[in-house]
Chains A and B, each alone.
Chain A
Amino acid sequence: MAVPLKYNFRNLQVRWVTSVLAVLGIVFVTVVFVFLFAMGLSIERSLVGSGDPLNLITLRKGTTAESQSVVTKEQYEDLLGIPGLHRDAKGEVLVSPELVVGANVVKKDGGKANVAIRGVGVKAKDMRSEFKLLPGGQWFRPSVGELVVGVGASRRFSGLEIGDTPRFRGRQWKIVGKFECGGQAYESELWGDIDDIKSQFKRDYSAVLIRCASPDALTRLKNVIQDGKQFNLDARPTLTYFSDQNIGGKMIKSFGFVLAIVLGIGAVFGAANTMYAAVASRTREIATMRVLGFSRLAIWFSFVIESALLGFAGGAVGAAAGYLMFNNMATGTVNWISFSELAFQFRVTPELMGIAVILATVMGVVGGFFPAFRASRMTIARALRGL
């Protein structure tokens, strides 16, 4: 027969100071864990899954970022000459030459960062299925220096709202619209007309985006460009292009994982201490329970459960606190590959909270394991005699 759960609740209640101290330790560990993982996962979410499965991006050989790549007009025309390119309903090829440059803008929380400015043509919107211009704004007109801003960039930087007139490369630009793009990295950018940006920033194209009809066609075209000496370009699916940039996200996640483990070990020692004390102060109680007929296993289990309850409570409070503190927090970090600001929002997801609670409970179980063992091994006679 198992020891009733009520027994454990009552115990935690009676020794509430110790219980609260033990729970608080686990709460803080959980908060640190939720914070670091929410950050790592949010960076990951804005990069991994960015791009369109059917889009191929071509860059100068050897480069990993659009901002470093140069594609000449001749190379672009060579690409247009590839037979059998996918066409839209109007019969036009879905190929978009683009230019990514950068300029320093002041962040809302102080300091400057580099915002990516993307010059695009008419096809760019159609080639990103998640692209959506928000109501209240409009698409830029070419050659008058108009820009549209991604929601992420607009949240992260000051002076990038509709109607604002930032200055880049000696020219006054005007922001006329705001767009969403399914949470993808594009949302951290400003978009303008390709010819405007090219002439003002004095650059060639940096990349050419090509829409393919199917995943097979994409692989085929990728090989054609990659192997074709005449192009001298690298081609890769946009999905891979972005997920390769997830260095920061990976780093923070592995960093968070190691920190959580070491902090967790520290917290386990604390929990073990609490449980050893609980066992020591209840020697006679334990003996009495044995006399009443509870088995060693039942007693062991009861103490583990009590410790697990401590961990669970700490995890639940910590996860809830993490959610309240960090969810939807808008921030950003540098994308070292593109050297520009990646704006992102913290998302404390139910999955993350669930994992945090499970981890905290495990901390409790591990912390209670050995003290419970000690409790269950007590011989009745000695335990009754004790104190």
Chain B
Amino acid sequence: MKFLPLIWRNAVRNRLRTFLTLAGIAFLLFVLIFVMTGLSEIQAWEGVAATHRRVVVQHAEGLMAELPIELENFLKGDIISRHAEHVCKFNWFGGYYQDQKNWPPEFAVDPETMRVLFDELSFSDEAYRKFSETKTGALVGIALMKKYDWKVGQRITLIGTFYPVNLELDIVGIFTTKDPRQEEQMFFRWDYLDELLKGRKVVSTYWMKARSDEDIPKLKELIDAHTKNSSAPTETITEKEFAAQFMQMMGNIKAIVAVIGALVLLIMIMMTANTMAMAARERVTEVAVMRTLGFTAGQILGVILAESILVSMLGAALAIGSSLLIFNVVKLSPDPIYFPVFLVAPNTVATAIGAALSCGVMSSLVPAIRSARRKISDGLRQVV
């Protein structure tokens, strides 16, 4: 700790250089935080999905294919109900509100089972009663209500693109959840969608809750075996796997973000290493004098490392502070349609700090070791 003033003095000795390094690190780390936040937002659903023990039955050939309504009886029957409960039809509607810029995620569900199945949603008994009584009822997330300035009791029209019908929905209640992404969603009734589709009984997926974790593999086996030779073979997966398949569709985003992140870290290290090498070169004589005064090689090493870490951390503080301000406080999103929520996660902040720390260490290791190892006589002899 007593070396702190020395480290600080060293860091601010060449203010311009330190400022340039610090600013460079801040910009580069900002990019790292940005791409990582994009990735964590894409993966957010996968993260929360794992906690719910929900199981999804979809057509083995993907979401474009429909499941027969007869399957519902089997899923609610004795064989399956030993392992799962609360079977709920679940269709993504894919309609827009007023303008093709607004795509609130809308899902058609069964009112009887949705409340227990999606027990992370909290809404009043009154709202649920109305939802059960009103065929055109909709339960809307609080963030969505704010976004479009909707009021309970209001009638809204959603223009269908995926289905050839438009929904005329009455907002009967608001729900809140812990996850801000879910608060951007809305639910309406599957039987209303079916009425509009003239009773074609289009089911895109069935959702249910496994009674225990051990029941999940059994459900997969039982359901998929039952439908194997039918016209609609199914694939029974967990909600987490269901979420992951959207990520897979987009391509190898994880790898892309990893590559960009690694390159950004390398650029940071190059830049800081350059600064530290310059600083060390200028201070050769000085270090030799300090050694004659009794500073040990280890202390010299520590002082140089600490200076580099200090500069990196200050850069990190700038990058983290500004990204938190831009994304978490002002709530700016790079693309409101694909990222209705764009929040820097604690993990991302931790990674940024880790990156800055490793940048500080890696960039100064070589110059620090060289300075510490140099013979005093050589150092004193060197003319800068």
The residues of A with any CB-CB pair to B shorter than 8 Å are 17-18, 21-22, 24-25, 28-29, 31-32, 35, 60, 62-65, 67-68, 70, 101-104, 107, 109-114, 168-170, 251, 255, 258-259, 262-263, 265-270, 272-274, 276-277, 331-334, 339-341, 387
Contacts and interface: CB of A to CB of B under 8 A. Distances in A.
A269 B267 CA distance: 11
A104 B20 contact: no
Nearest to A156: B251
B271 interface: yes
Size band of the B side of the interface?
Answer: 35 or more
A18 B273 CA distance: 9
Interface in B159-188: 159-162, 164
Nearest to B94: A68
A102 B58 CA distance: 14
A259 B35 contact: yes
B271 A25 contact: yes
A191 to B, nearest CB: 17
Nearest to A341: B249
B28 interface: yes
A31 B262 CA distance: 12
A14 B375 CA distance: 24
Nearest to A325: B259
Interface in B240-295: 245, 248-252, 259-260, 263-264, 266-268, 270-271, 273-275, 277-278
Interface stretch (B5-13, B59-67, B72-80, B146-154): B59-67
B231 A169 contact: yes
Given A113-B248, A332-B251, A333-B250, 6 more contacts: A25-B270, A28-B264, A68-B162, A262-B27, A273-B271, A273-B274
Contact of B34 (A21, A111, A113, A259): A259
Contacts of A255: 334
A269 B29 CA distance: 13
11 contacts: A21-B273, A21-B277, A22-B270, A67-B64, A70-B164, A111-B249, A113-B249, A251-B338, A259-B31, A267-B271, A333-B251
Contact of B250 (A17, A68, A110, A334): A334
Contacts of B21: 269-270, 273
A35 B270 contact: no
Contacts of A113: 248-249
Most buried by B among A102, A111, A268: A111
Interface string B13-44: 00011001101111110110011000000000
Contacts of A168: 61
B342 to A, nearest CB: 13
B275 A273 contact: yes
A267 B28 CA distance: 8
Contacts of B16: 276
A107 B65 CA distance: 19
Contacts of A25: 267, 270-271, 274
B329 interface: no
Contacts of B60: 104
A24 B272 CA distance: 12
Contacts of B260: 32, 35, 259
A63 B161 CA distance: 5
Given A21-B270, A29-B267, A62-B160, A272 B20 contact: yes
A344 to B, nearest CB: 10
The 10 A-B pairs with the shortest beta carbon distances in the complex, nearest first, are: A111-B248, A269-B24, A104-B62, A266-B27, A270-B271, A334-B249, A102-B64, A103-B61, A266-B28, A25-B270
Contact of A266 (B24, B259, B275): B24
Nearest to B30: A262
Given A103-B61, A251-B335, A270-B24, A21 B274 contact: yes
Given A60-B164, A170-B231, A35 B259 contact: yes
B330 interface: no
Nearest to A267: B267
Contacts of A268: 24
A99 to B, nearest CB: 12
B251 A266 contact: no
Given A35-B259, A111-B245, A263 B27 contact: yes
Contacts of B259: 35
B1 interface: no
Nearest to A273: B20
A63 B230 CA distance: 31
A18 B16 CA distance: 17
B379 interface: no
Contacts of B250: 333-334
Contact of B161 (A62, A251, A269, A333): A62
Nearest to B24: A269
Contacts of A170: 230-231, 233
B161 A263 contact: no
A382 B130 CA distance: 85
B24 A273 contact: yes
Given A28-B263, A103-B65, A333-B250, A273 B17 contact: yes
Contacts of A262: 27, 30-31, 34
A3 B264 CA distance: 35
Contacts of A331: 251-252
Contacts of A272: 20
Contacts of A24: 266, 270
A265 B275 CA distance: 17
Contacts of A265: 27
Contacts of A340: 64
A332 B251 CA distance: 6
A48 B246 CA distance: 24
Nearest to B270: A25
A340 B245 CA distance: 13
A21 B248 CA distance: 37
A28 B266 contact: yes
A16 B135 CA distance: 75
Contacts of A109: 252
B251 A103 contact: no
A28 B264 CA distance: 8
Contact of A18 (B23, B277, B384): B277
A17 B231 CA distance: 67
A255 B37 CA distance: 13
Contacts of B252: 109, 331
A107 B250 CA distance: 12
Most buried by A among B24, B26, B162, B252: B24
